Amino acid sequence: MKLLNRYLLLKPTTRLIIEWPVLIVVGIAGAIFTRYRIPLFPYSNIAGFVIFVLGLIIHMRCHLVHRQAGEQSEKIEKLLTTGIFSRVRHPMYASLVLIVLGIALASGVILALVPAVIIAVLNLLTALKEEKFLMEKFGDEYREYMKNVPYRFIPKIL
């Protein structure tokens, strides 16, 4: 558990350097060494590409608003409540989930879903951990933000 907590607190770019190569290598290995493919080819591949692009667009929009996005939580100086952050509290983590799941679906390899789901769960756990930290750091300001923006990842759903 301690190792998981340490991993969740790594700088986002460090995690990216670890997670993406794993996703890509497993996808390539799955394409070479297994015949198990995601059903509904080529529609699943197209859907994966669309999900990937949607995740990229959301992520880029987040970076336009949140200039400190690549920093660790401790370095965040101001609570953002504008732009996409006025609709969901963790749009960057949600976009990363879309990106990795989109890559896995676009690859067409069932094996690629394994690291994609693990990476998605790690991002969701990181968002929850960050939420606790932000509540401690910003206190009532963050509690008010939580009231005004009740959705963590998807507007009107979750």
Residue 33's domain is classified under what CATH number?
1.20.120.1630
In a domain, 71, yes or no: yes
Identify whether 2 is part of a domain: no
**Domain-embedded: residue 52:** yes
Residue linked to tokens 């609570």: 79
**Total count of domains within the chain:** 1
Q: What is the pLDDT of residues 87-114, one digit of tens each?
A: 999 999 999 999 999 999 999 999 999 9
Confidence of residue 70 (pLDDT cuts 50, 70, 90): low
For the chain, the C-alpha Rg in angstroms (whole number) is 17
- pLDDT-based confidence at residue 118 (cuts at 50, 70, 90): very high
In a domain, 3, yes or no: no
| Cα-based distances in Å from 137 to 38, 47, 140, 148 | 43, 39, 9, 18
Asked if residue 1 is part of any domain, the answer here is no
Give 109's strand partners.
37
CA distance 121 to 74: 22
Domain hosting residue 44, numbered range: 14-148
Domain presence at residue 94: yes
